[in-house]
Chains A and B, each alone.
Chain A
Amino acid sequence: MGKRMHEMTDHTMSEREAELQALPISDKQLDTTAERIKSRNRDSIVALEGAAAQLGARTIWSQATFQVTPGEFIAILGPNGAGKSTLLRVLLGLLRPSAGRVEVLGSAPRRGHPAIGYVPQRRTLDPDLPVRGRDLVMLGLDGRHWGFALPGPKRQKQHLLVEEALAAVGATAYADRPVGQLSGGEQQRLLLAQALVGQPSLLLLDEPLASLDLRNQVAIANLVARVAREQGITVLLVTHDVNPLLPVIDRVLYVAQGQALIGFPDDIITTESLTRLYGAPVEVVHDSRGRVFVVGLEQELMSPSVE
């Protein structure tokens, strides 16, 4: 099975490579996105080779080998406790891999990488939190610097960047209200703006759709896809339910049973491949609207969550 997955990955890589090579090189014809992709010399944004992650004595996953090309939108799927959030923590430099090689943006993962935007898993913000959305987004830009900001041209520029980020997610109307008063969808947009304001190359989202209703899930999924496309950002999004994302993702990274498999949704989310992965009868069902459902995973759902 491992060999087959490798073949699939190679196949995927060369297809992408071909696509990128086909882009016109002439300056006049380049659009911004293509330019950003090419300027990275087609390096991978994220590369894992035989990587493993351990929490305490327990190995969460191992033998993870895959690469993410710039500009891709990847959904990270898998049952609770499989290690999806752990993978994000490794990429953020918050957890050292116990084996193998991990490369993020061309070097080893480190905390506070300025080109990585992150929206962690949460339900909703504390309703009494006395801060405006605008202030939260601004902190995403300069919160890691000591002291406090002095007014001046640099500060003006920062305010402009915040304004742009808010506009990109459509949150300008309620950016000045206390965040606790906002709905889940609105809060999620602000948190997304906070991650985007630093103009990242890589965006990591941990279950951003979890506490939203379906309408907002689709809206946020489309928003992320649109902004990522416009700004040439690579996105890794952890989610429980892939359906709102199916129209916008490029590939799927399935984390389960201590393994991480990457491929196209149609190849990974199939009865055969998931049954093989779980070693148990698992069925993938498609409904009339094209949505996929994985059934037979009741055993998995019982297992305790590790995140």
Chain B
Amino acid sequence: MFAIFLSIKSLLPALRLAALHGQQAQSSFPSPPISWNLFDDVQTQLQYAFMQNAYLAGAIVAVVAGVVGYFVVLRGLSFAGHALSHIGFAGATGAVALSGVSMFGLILNIPAVFGLLVFTVVSAVGMGILGKRIHGRDVAIGIVLAWALGLGVLFLSLYTGYATEAYALLFGEILGISLQDVLITMIAGAITLVAMAVLYRPLLFASFDDEVAEARGVPVRFLSIAFMVILALAVSEAVQVVGVLLIFALLVTPAAIAERLTARPGRAILISVLLALGFTWVGLFVAYYLPYPVSFFITTFAFGSYVLVRLFFAVRGRFVRRPERVLEGKLA
């Protein structure tokens, strides 16, 4: 533990430089002051290719996160999703550290996202096989998560010219997305959404009531594993926008809000998607004018909305009398 702490400390100056670089990059861009005419402002922003890519990739990621996130919250997998993103971090940094290493006379060049995907999918399958036993295993998951992060730090230190990419991996760099990245995200997003559409009903059934679902012939075990793999894909996509550490903002918060607002699954997913989209786009829009990271705005809007919704219901609960629930005695 101490060793990990030390190694993070030694990298901090490098990370700070990278963050500053990011900030300066943003504030040095020619950004005319906000004109309070929304249409004009958006048009101005969309002149730039990097903004177009950001909005597009952000939208795809938000839709995927909104749909997958609903089931993450429902199935109590938010911590597992968090762990997947950290394990992915080790995979991504490992892939880059491994690149440039010569093997059999060939120089490997593994893209970071490949390492990310391999690590997350493999861990996802492992978690899926464990199935229900994941519940209450947050200690075990946390231990693996911490080690994965430590591994990531090791790989970072093995490849010193990597600080900016590390920053991007940890906190997201939506403004650095190329058109190629957008296309890849689009394909991955399409695959994820199609898979979710096919699995929708049985997954819903198994998530609400796995005993009855199993008795009715739903392949609960298979769905458990399949969903974890889809989650791994969704996490890998979302890392681009908000990074490894802030996954919750897109994957969990919108769905958590939606599930408080409605008890109808279809509506809840729709609200979840719209919220995720809203947080991403509004965050992006505001970040254009202010010299602060985009992911900060996204997470703040998400958090703020969550707090508002909770407050609203708390206040409403004080003033609106709910019908008394008849408490049933429990027999042995």
A residues whose Cβ falls under 8 Å from a Cβ of B: 92, 94, 111-113, 116, 118-120, 122-124, 129-132, 135-136, 139-140, 142-149, 177-179, 181-185, 191, 194-195, 210-213, 216, 240-241
Contacts and interface: CB of A to CB of B under 8 A. Distances in A.
Given A119-B212, A130-B74, A181 B201 contact: no
B201 A130 contact: no
A154 B268 CA distance: 24
A139 B201 contact: yes
A124 B216 CA distance: 20
Interface size class of B (residues with CB under 8 A): 20 to 34
Contacts, number: 105
Nearest to A179: B263
Given A94-B215, A131-B263, A140-B216, A146 B204 contact: no
Nearest to B205: A143
A288 to B, nearest CB: 22
Contacts of A179: 263
Given A132-B264, A194-B212, A143 B328 contact: no
A143 B218 contact: yes
Given A132-B264, A177-B263, A183-B326, A240 B213 contact: no
Nearest to B206: A143
A118 B198 contact: no
Contacts of A184: 328
Contacts of B331: 210-212, 240-241
A195 B211 CA distance: 12
Interface of B: 74, 197-202, 204-205, 208-209, 211-218, 259-260, 262-265, 268, 325-332
Contacts of A146: 198-199, 201-202
Contact of A136 (B200, B209, B211, B332): B209
A213 B205 CA distance: 28
A135 B265 contact: yes
Contact of B201 (A118, A148, A178): A148
Which of B199, B204, B263 has the largest count of A CB atoms less than 10 A from its CB?
B263
B198 A147 contact: yes
B263 A130 contact: yes
